[in-house]
Amino acid sequence: MAEPSAWDKMKLGALMGTTVGLGLGAIFGIITILRVGPGPKGYLSTMGQYMLSSGATFGFFMSIGSVIRTEGKFQQPRLLGPQAVPVHQLPIRIVGTPKSAAES
């Protein structure tokens, strides 16, 4: 089975973010209505405004985050310097501490 494309992952991230945003918008909307009141628009309009704005914001950022997080099946190794040596093949040098004049 093929791995989902970046477009599919973006749609899934947007759907998850919108769902979470709608839930949080409902919670914040209820708390605001209980504390301050519904305002001139009424209960339903105030709740809808909180839920839609929160859902749109969370959906937008989750879709971007899921595309950024997408990792391909075959990734090129990151190259370092003009020699184009892959980072995972660079030698590790262990350097000892220099002896002081008093120890020699």
- Residue 2 pLDDT level (bands cut at 50, 70, 90): confident
Cα(66)–Cα(17) distance, rounded to whole angstroms? 10
Q: Does the residue 83 lie in any domain?
A: no
Q: Look over the chain and give the mean of its residue pLDDT values, rounded to a whole number.
A: 81
Give the list of residues 6+ apart from residue 39 with CB closer than 8 angstroms, or none: 46
Residue 39 lies in a domain: yes
Range of the domain at 38: 6-73
Strands (E) across the chain are located at: 79-80, 85-86
pLDDT at 80 over 60: no
One-letter amino acid of 57: T
Do the domain assignments include residue 14? yes
Tell me the per-residue pLDDT of 29-53, one tens digit each, with 9 for 90 and over: 999 999 999 889 899 999 999 999 9
Q: What is the dihedral of CA 26, 29, 30, 31, to 10 degrees?
A: 120
